[in-house]
Amino acid sequence: MKLDQTFISIRKRSVSELFDLALTVVRSHWRSLLILLVLGSVPWILLDVFLLWPLMHFGPGDPSRWACSWLMMLLVVSQAQYGTSLITLYLGEAMFIGQPNWKQVAREALKISPLFVWLHGCLRMVFPVIFLTWLLDIEHPSDFGVLMGLFIPASVALGLAFRAFRPFVSEMILLEKTPWRPKASSEVSFARRSKALHSYASSELFGRFVLSCLFAAPLAISFQSLFVQVDSLMNISAGYEWTLAGYYWVVALWLTAGFVAVFRFLSYIDIRIRQEGWAIELKMRAEGQKLAMS
């Protein structure tokens, strides 16, 4: 691992440059990123389809399609950062290796700590949102009422609030291996590291979060429209009484989540460069490696 030879140049970037760089990274690593996105998202997709199964098979004019699209969007938005953790691991390796083995990265996922599950699953409301969706009477969409209109959206919004101001939890746990309670005095605790990384850039992070949401919404709609258009041209759903639009929607949402995960990782690198002088730190470490090997 050569710390002074990264696959992207270490320098400060604007938000527009980060979006442009995210497209470049996706183009260069699309195969591995797509495989890892599938591995990370399929368990959540199967769970979400199971929860919303009666709503997934709606006809072209069925009003329940709106309930299905709304609930599926809430579920995927809630689960997105959890489900794209493999992409974060991969990009962390790719920074210094270039083209890491996606199989090795997938095996690393088996070592995800209970802290990651607690912070993402509970504090960021993934499991509560799933539980509230399970409570819905899916057979009668007209009776969803306050659960679909208030409690589930409010739970997702609460999780998003944590992600807006503390977006780099995945990077801290998966890449930096920050412990919750350090065993040695030289180690930094998770709370202290999180405050140092996020607090001084809170306004910048919130602005980037809002921009990523504004970018993600039309991107997901564009993906879904593309799938529906291809379906229409090829008559894929011609033999069914219901459309495949619900399935296209969940795939479109996860593809968008994968791109946002790449943007978030690049934003994490940019914040470290701005706050910690990471470019200088990497050069110093690289020189230390060369001296140790000489």
Residue 211, pLDDT above cutoff 50: yes
Residue 215 within a domain? yes
- Smallest CA-to-CA distance from 102 within 112, 91, 114 is with 91
- Tokens standing for residue 118: 């607690």
What is residue 245's predicted lDDT score, i.e. its pLDDT?
A: 82
**Beta carbons of 215 and 20 less than 8 angstroms apart:** no
Average pLDDT over every residue of 172-187: 82
Residue 7 within a domain? no
**Beta carbons of 194 and 123 less than 8 angstroms apart:** no
What is residue 160's predicted lDDT score, i.e. its pLDDT?
A: 94
Residue 121 within a domain? yes
Task: Give how far the C-alpha of residue 124 lies from the chain's centroid of Cα atoms, to the nearest Å.
Answer: 13
Residue 2 within a domain? no
**Beta carbons of 148 and 70 less than 8 angstroms apart:** yes
Residue 71 within a domain? yes
How far, in Å, CA of 206 to CA of 72, rounded? Answer: 24
How far, in Å, CA of 48 to CA of 50, rounded? Answer: 5
> Using one digit for the tens of pLDDT, what is the confidence trace for 69-110?
899 999 999 999 999 999 999 998 887 666 778 888 888 777
Residue 153 within a domain? yes
Prediction pTM value: 0.88
What is residue 293's predicted lDDT score, i.e. its pLDDT?
A: 57
What is residue 88's predicted lDDT score, i.e. its pLDDT?
A: 93
> Using one digit for the tens of pLDDT, what is the confidence trace for 38-80?
999 999 999 999 998 888 877 666 777 888 889 999 999 999 9
Alpha helix segments (H runs only) across the chain: 15-51, 53-56, 64-83, 85-97, 102-108, 114-117, 126-135, 145-146, 152-165, 169-174, 190-198, 202-234, 245-276, 278-293
Domain limits for position 156: 15-293
Residue 134 within a domain? yes
Angstrom CA distances, 280 to 74, 246, 272, 288, stand at 41, 49, 11, 12
Residue 9 within a domain? no
Tally of domains within the chain: 1
> Using one digit for the tens of pLDDT, what is the confidence trace for 255-280?
999 999 999 999 998 888 887 765 55
CA angle 49, 51, 56 (to 5 degrees): 50
